[in-house]
Chains A and B, each alone.
Chain A
Amino acid sequence: MNIDLSRRGFLRLAGAGVAATSLGAMGFGEAEAAEQAHVRAFKLATTTETRNTCPYCSVACGIILYSKGDVKAGETAELIHIEGDADHPTNRGTLCPKGAALKDFVHAPTRLTKPRYRPAGASEFQDITWEEALDKIARAMKDDRDANLIQTNEAGVPVNRWTTTGFLAASATTNETAWLTYKTVRSMGIVGFDNQARV
């Protein structure tokens, strides 16, 4: 759900209308045309607005993403600005020093853009394709599970416990990622499963 007509959008439209009307009423018809010809449009006027929430602390401030291009329409979208959502009941448009700089987090120079592999003993990463990386992981998991899954304990109770592989889950992924992660990890019997709630 993108914003159909936000408070900001409404004001923007209203403001443009007032300017045009008042100039016209004062008999500056040509001036109006000239004015419109050289006034630069707002940079954000042609952007797509998308509602999101800040990924840092648990206040979960509402934010608006401004992008060139629309993800929903299947277009490539480049994020050009982020600001607080004035309609959000918690933050009412304000952001802290972290939230205010969010756009530069998205564009951080150390964002990862391709899969990388570090062989044993190496001192640098090297590139690897997604296919190779995922196959390597699946192979390692299958082999380790087959070798180490504890199917029953000494009393013969089925315990289906895999302790030699562990999984640390995140703190800022969506609930939906969390659920898919839960299903995957639990179905395999991984018990070394934790999240970032405590650190």
Chain B
Amino acid sequence: MTNSWTDIKNTDLVIVMGGNAAEAHPCGFKWVTEAKHHRGAKLIVVDPRYTRTASVSDFYAPIRPGSDIAFLMGAIRWMIENDKVQWDYVRNYTNASFLVKDEFGWSDGLFTGYDEEKRDYDKSSWDYKMGPDGFVQTDPTLQDPRCVWNLLKAHVDAYTPEFVERICGTPKDKFLTICEMIGECSTPTKTMTSMYALGWTQHSKGAQNIRGMAMLQLILGNIGVRGGGMNALRGHSNIQGLTDIGLMSNLIPGYLNIPTEMEADWATYMSTRGFKPIVPGQTSYWQNYSKFMVSFMKAMWGDAATAENDWAYHYLPKLDVPAYDGMRMFELMNHGKVNLYFCQGFNPLLSFPNRGKMTEAFSKLKMLVIMDPLATETAHFWQNHGIYNDVDSAAIQTEVLELPTTCFAEDEGALVNSGRWLQWHWAGATPPGEAKHDTWIMAQIFLRVKKLYQEEGGVFPDPILNLTWDYADPGEPMPDELAREMNGRALRTVYDLKDTTKVVAEAGQQLANFGQYRDDGSTMGGCWIYGGSWTEDGNMMARRDNNDPDDTGAFLNWSFAWPANRRILYNRASCDLQGKPWDPSRKIIEWTGEKWEGYDVPDIPVTAKPGEVHPFIMNPEGVSRLFSRGMMRDGPFPTHMEPFEAPIANVFNPKMRGNPVARVFESDAEKFAAIGDPEFPCVATSYRLTEHFHYWTKHNPVNAVLQPEFFVEISEELAAERGIERGGRVRVWSKRGEVWAKALVTKRIRPMQIDGKTVHVIGIPLHWGFMGAARKGFGPNSLSSQVGDANVETPEFKAFMVNIEPSAEEPVA
């Protein structure tokens, strides 16, 4: 989230598209209700199903799963055509006026530079025209045909309301009503907020869905303001934290990168991370990259990381592929190239696509280690459960270790919510039986491996032997010790950067913020964006003061929000060029003539003069990007792409399948249904129910009673067409697998007209498996295709093709 849950009360219009907050985030959705009740805000829902969020909306429109980009580009086209643009914002706070290279273009659904063989773009033309001074060329009048604004206008020209109706199945009149409602938020005093979740991310072009809305929000001037923003409703309680801390193949905590093998040494690695401003006078905060990186290396390897050895850069793994993400690992596993695998609180047998492949892959491991509070399906993948897990145990040679862990009630530490609040919590129960904290387990594993290297020697033990481990009890590091390490501390006296005689922190002191990080080895800090979370004043994450001066929704003294306790990102953009709020009734900060101050921590150096330093301080441009240069693999603008399995071909280019640069493994490609395949005519999409959380709550007898049994949701029309009874048993199958379920026949899903064709949508909830208290069932991953987003490899769970038929009732045992 750029904003926070409590800030949603400040909005005038909520658009929920790619999510279903009323059911999946019920207590956060209350802030939509607050906005509706107290501000007269309106709620728009665009979704393939008439969800419970839709049921309390002011306006609902259906959309075909996987067609969101067409809708969003259509909305942008409408805003431009009808002059619903926050012009001062667009001219000054976006790159609308920047000139783009003459070679850049788009045709037949593809941008310039496409290489079909490599399934990749040569992105060199996707960039600005640079002047001889090293700064970007601009045309503030927006007249130049090569400026971003005019290129955007040309790019969205194809997305007429008729085109939107044809591709999305959204009736033209409904689409236009929504555009009119959104258009009202282009004034400086009206604001829209976007609430989305995995309905947008789980597509082969998920990142471009989100960019589409972010661009629309920039055009309306809705980023950085109260009641605005791009608000990703994260699916799990600490997936924000796990991502912040970089628990991904290619990340270092704080969104730094693991090097690739092309970056053979420190100098090469840092050479592309200078991030010099490309507009004069801009902050370009990533210029501080080396301070964050060196402090991280010092946190990892302490005295073994020195300026002389490039901070132990040779200890870091170097990637030969963009990432060894989950799907790549399961592909390698399925080829017998992985021997040992750990699942820490994760149930991939049900959460990753193409379950048949997952079972095969796990069966090829030598050892699988599970750490979990619950008996998961993954831990039992080798056990026969009839049709629900039809395996031959004797043939599976994988050894499995299942280690019992604590859960939230028994442990202490911080979780990061969607609004980036790090909230500390405390243990209130004793772990059951022999269950242990994950920290104890990780420490025990590490210390045992280390001991083996100390005793036996072995291959390159240095990064293991030299890993910093100065905990009071090495066998069980405490949450406070680990939190302090992430915040960072001075290793020797740290001096002010401008006044080098002024001491900022003495050796051993906790750093006050990431501004005190240094790249000379005088500081350490595991995760720079958490700088300020545990200072000399104590644990900021434990703060519980719920005072909120003037009811802005900021709650600055409740927990700690990264970065720097800032509650609304880009909040400098809430003010005009003179530093006055666009909407005085929704002031966040303002320029006093000398400095920035207000209700939130300013997202700008506090003495940076308005008009000189632009609001988007992380970007070398100082402004936001309607055109994203070469930063995304599949284009600088979102362009309509069909899902890999789709009822129709891409109308821009019938030969183009899915996202043209998404990674597809050969074995997965063989398992795609053909485009428009009559054997698989229905579009399937996965979703959550309000009574269940993922694959956890089926272990809870209470929730198992509330929603006991797996079902699929279909329209009355499809039921009639196939002779399916309400509540009857059905078989649903795709090119990858089959499931049996109860049929939930509803009016919430209706057939759609797509490019002249009737298309049915089938909803598949995701909460059942073969373990726990609920009845045994299946999940959507028995059916879904294994392909991910081209930028971040999020699996395409929200749009794939299936078929359905009535089935005989399950025999009673």
- Spell out A's residues near B (CB within 8 Å): 1-2, 48-62, 65-67, 69, 71-72, 76-79, 82, 87-92, 94-99, 101-102, 104-106, 108-125, 128, 130, 133-142, 144-146, 148-149, 151, 153, 155, 157-199
Contacts and interface: CB of A to CB of B under 8 A. Distances in A.
7 contacts: A99-B27, A105-B700, A110-B699, A118-B402, A168-B341, A175-B486, A199-B326
Interface in B268-289: none
Interface string B472-484: 0000010100110
Interface string B289-301: 0000000000010
Given A58-B240, A108-B772, A149-B459, 8 more contacts: A53-B415, A76-B430, A112-B373, A113-B404, A123-B394, A184-B442, A191-B317, A194-B324
Interface stretch (B117-125, B130-138, B245-253): B245-253
Given A157-B264, A174-B412, A194-B248, A181 B463 contact: no
Nearest to B243: A197
B400 A118 contact: yes
B236 A171 contact: yes
A74 to B, nearest CB: 10
Contacts of A185: 247
Contact of A50 (B426, B771, B789): B426
A75 B628 CA distance: 56
Top 9 closest pairs, chain A to chain B, by CB: A113-B433, A174-B413, A170-B345, A65-B428, A50-B428, A112-B404, A171-B236, A138-B448, A60-B417
Contacts of B445: 134, 137-138, 141, 184
Contact of B242 (A48, A96, A112, A171): A171
Nearest to A100: B702
B618 interface: no
A175 B560 CA distance: 13
A161 B318 contact: yes
Given A56-B693, A112-B374, A114-B434, A175 B416 contact: yes
A117 B346 contact: no
A172 B415 contact: yes
A121 B459 CA distance: 32
Taking each of A56, A146, A171, A177, which has the highest tally of chain B beta carbons within 10 Å of its own beta carbon?
Answer: A177
B644 interface: no
B245 A175 contact: yes
Contact of B442 (A157, A180, A194): A180
B530 to A, nearest CB: 8
B416 to A, nearest CB: 7
Given A123-B394, A180-B482, A197-B248, A160 B429 contact: no
B344 interface: yes
B549 interface: no
B778 to A, nearest CB: 16
B548 A71 contact: no
A187 B375 contact: no
A189 to B, nearest CB: 5
A101 B237 contact: no
Given A111-B432, A194-B325, A163 B332 contact: yes
A105 B792 CA distance: 32
B259 to A, nearest CB: 9
Contact of B318 (A1, A139, A159): A159
A172 B348 contact: no
Contact of A88 (B202, B372, B546): B546
Interface in B400-416: 400-405, 407-416
Contacts of B344: 167-170, 173, 181
A97 B403 contact: no
Contacts of A171: 235-239, 242, 345-346
Given A130-B436, A187-B463, A174 B479 contact: yes
B178 interface: no
A57 B337 CA distance: 34
Contact of B430 (A55, A77, A108): A77
Contacts of A187: 300, 315, 446, 463-464, 467
Contact of A153 (B248, B320, B441): B320
Contacts of A170: 238, 242, 344-346, 438
A127 to B, nearest CB: 10
Contacts of B425: 51-53
B264 to A, nearest CB: 4
Contact of A98 (B366, B423, B467, B703): B703
Contact of B417 (A59, A104, A173, A190): A59
Taking each of B333, B402, B453, B797, which has the highest tally of chain A beta carbons within 10 Å of its own beta carbon?
Answer: B402
Nearest to A125: B402
A76 B369 CA distance: 29
A101 B702 contact: yes
A59 to B, nearest CB: 4
A143 to B, nearest CB: 9
Given A175-B422, A195-B247, A98 B394 contact: no
A165 B300 CA distance: 21
Nearest to A79: B429
Interface in B223-262: 233-249, 253, 258, 261
Contacts of B468: 183
Contacts of A167: 341-342, 344
Nearest to A52: B425
A139 B448 CA distance: 8
A199 B696 contact: no
B398 interface: yes
A152 B346 CA distance: 32
A116 B429 contact: no
A179 B527 contact: yes
Contact of A189 (B245, B317, B410): B317
B691 A182 contact: no
Interface in B783-811: 788-789, 792-795, 797
B519 to A, nearest CB: 20
B387 interface: no
Given A53-B415, A197-B243, A108 B433 contact: no
Contact of A120 (B340, B342, B399, B414): B399
A138 B480 CA distance: 26
B428 A71 contact: yes
B693 A168 contact: no
A193 to B, nearest CB: 5
B773 interface: yes
Contact of A79 (B403, B404, B428): B428
Contact of B429 (A65, A88, A142, A149): A65
B697 interface: yes
Given A158-B314, A174-B479, A175-B238, A140 B366 contact: yes
A195 B26 CA distance: 24
Contacts of B316: 160, 186
A65 B408 CA distance: 11
A179 B697 contact: no
Contact of A195 (B248, B384, B413, B771): B248
A97 B692 CA distance: 8
A99 B399 CA distance: 35
B408 A55 contact: yes
Contacts of B542: 1
Nearest to A49: B428
Given A175-B415, A178-B245, A168 B343 contact: yes
Given A111-B373, A138-B452, A149-B459, A53 B423 contact: yes
Contacts of A162: 317
B793 to A, nearest CB: 7
A151 B463 CA distance: 12
A167 to B, nearest CB: 4
B24 A108 contact: no
A186 B401 CA distance: 22
A194 B692 CA distance: 24
Given A151-B459, A194-B247, A195-B243, A165 B340 contact: yes
Nearest to B337: A164
B351 interface: yes
Contacts of A82: 409
